[in-house]
Structure 1
Amino acid sequence: MAAAGAGDGGGDGEQLTVLGAWGSPFLVRVRLALNLKGLSYEYVEVDLAGKREQLLAANPVHRKIPVLLHAGKPVCESMVIVEYLDEAFPSAAGLLPADPYARAVARFWAAFVDDKLLSGWLGVYDAGKTEEEKAAALAETRAALDALEGALGERAGGWFGGDSVGLVDVALGGFVPAMMASEPTTGLRIVDPGRTPLLAAWVERFCALEEAKAAMPPFDRILEAGKKRYADLQAAAAAAAARE
């Protein structure tokens, strides 16, 4: 358990607590949003294998992290939490634009990150898929990155939020540590400067943000965990092939 963040955060009635697991990209989203809005919070590391009572009580439906506790009331799911923070603390830096149409566009691309990019990316490493299915998943991942490259190119200022970090930047930013660790652990480069130069430049800008640095887990730890996970996936795939 550790205190984190440096901002107003409100008094005792506004106490913010985040339940999470250190390597979760979804936790990165929440911590990034809190940092960007300058909100103080307490972070509680959850042993997912043990499913601590506090997590089960806070999120009895999905039993997953992250969970935000605001004055003791739980808010679940990373992007729901991010939007909640934006509404609950409107005086802090806004992550969603004021214009209704621009908000709808931001929500569309934030959902696209999970619905298309993440789903395809996970399929590349699914031990239960055939090589043809994995190739299709890789093509889906690259198509999603191409679409995000196009969306970023329509924004002035270098961020999906325009001149400042917005909802889509937070949604995609959660996966930056895993993107950076992908090539040294699996040989697959997620963001290729030759194919998506705007996204590659965006990743560099993101990693330079102080709020992002404070939200992301140590890279060496992510790298170590990624190598182990990939080795386990390869072993599972080999075992499945041997049973055929």
Structure 2
Amino acid sequence: MPLVLYGHPFSSYTQKVLIALHENAIPFEFRCLEPDQPEHMADWMKRWPLRKFPLLLDGGREVVETSIIIEYLQLAHPGPVRLLPADPMAALDVRFLDRFFDLHVMTPMQHAVGGALTGDDVKCKEARAHAEEKLQLAYEWLEAKLLPGRPAWAAGPDFTLADCAAAPSLFYADWTHRIPETMPLLRAYRARLLARPSVAKAVDGGRPYRHYFPLGAPDRD
């Protein structure tokens, strides 16, 4: 029985897991959580009443939370691309960066989106301002970390879990608060991520849904 992934192709967290699946060409069935597919919605809500996606189904095992799903894939369905290093200390660095992108880039972006979805102009402006402040701090930290001469990816020369988190985080964050031109290293890293085949495939899958982005999806990506 193939793996089953419940999620939405425009969802940043769904894309994070899709990138990991594409990296190792792991076969899976995608069940899109859209109102016009109520059978998928009903099954997903029954399996995970907290109603957060994505959710991975592997036979009788249900796995949730993106970082856990990706670690599970490495354990249960390993491929040529190892997304968590074997060395425990190196793996700790990767996990830290994974959390950094989820908590300090993805979360502020989603806060701005949530404010826009309220339809209240005051709440929208407040959420956008809060997100821009937090994202600017995160960008500055990342620009300082991505020093000239460092390897291409977040945690070293290899593409890892940290990059799976970084790709959708920076993709949508740049739509919310554009990475300044004064941060060429971070802008170049985002471009490398979007050029990675696994990332490009995930991004392309979400293109038909760009009208969902309440802050306005730019044409540049």
Q: TM-score, normalization: structure 2?
A: 0.81
1:239 is aligned to none
1:36 to 19, 23, 34: 23
| Corresponding position of 1:164 | 158
Higher RCO by CA contacts (8 Å cutoff, separation 6 or greater)? 2
**2:132 matched to which residue of 1?**
138
User: Aligned pair 1:93/2:81, yes or no?
Assistant: yes
Alpha-carbon offset, residue 208 of structure 1:
1.6
SS in 1 for 2:146: helix
Aligned AA for 1:209?
R
Aligned to 1:59: 48
Partner residue, 2:146: 152
Residue number in structure 2 paired with 1:69: 57
Task: Return the offset for 1:63.
Answer: 1.5
Q: 1:53 to 1:154 in 2, by over 3 A?
A: farther
SS at match of 2:31: strand
Percent identity over the alignment? 25
Would the aligned equivalents of 1:21 and 1:46 in 2 still touch at CA under 8 Å? yes
- Structure 1 counterpart of 2:201, from 214, 227, 239: 214
- 1:242 corresponds in structure 2 to none
Q: Post-superposition shift, 1:160?
A: 1.0
Whether the aligned pair in 2 keeps the contact of 1:19 and 1:44 (CA below 8 Å) is yes
Distance 1:155 1:102, change over 3 A: farther
Inter-CA distance 190–84: structure 2 relative to 1 (3 Å threshold) = farther
- Structure exhibiting the larger radius of gyration computed from Cα positions: 1
Pairs within 5 Å for 1:230-241 = 230=215
Which string of whole-angstrom CA distances, capped at 9 and with x for unpartnered residues, describes residues 64-122 of structure 1? Answer: 21111112321112222112112223343101112211111111121111222223333
Name the CA shift for 1:64/1:155 in 2 (closer, same or farther; >3 Å).
farther
Q: Does 1:118 align with 2:106?
A: yes
CA apart distance, 1:222: 4.5
Report how many residues are paired: 208
CA distance in 2, matches of 1:78, 1:132: 28
| Structure 2 stretches lacking a partner, 5+ long | 217-221
Q: Does the C-alpha gap of structure 1 residues 75 and 179 become closer, same or farther in structure 2, counting only changes over 3 Å?
A: same
Q: What amino acid sits opposite 1:103 in the alignment?
A: A
- Rounded to whole Å, the distance in 2 between the matches of 1:64 and 1:39 is 23
Report deviation, 1:146: 1.5
Selected match of 2:189 from 181, 198, 202? 202
Name the aligned partner's letter for residue 215 of structure 2. Y
Opposite residue 14 of structure 2, the aligned amino acid is L
Q: 1:83 aligns with which of 54, 71, 84?
A: 71
Which residue number corresponds to residue 240 of structure 1? none
Q: State the shift of 1:220 in Å.
A: 4.8
Partners of 1:165 and 1:155 in 2: how far apart? 17
Give the 3 Å change call, closer, same or farther, for CA 154–54 of structure 1 in structure 2.
farther
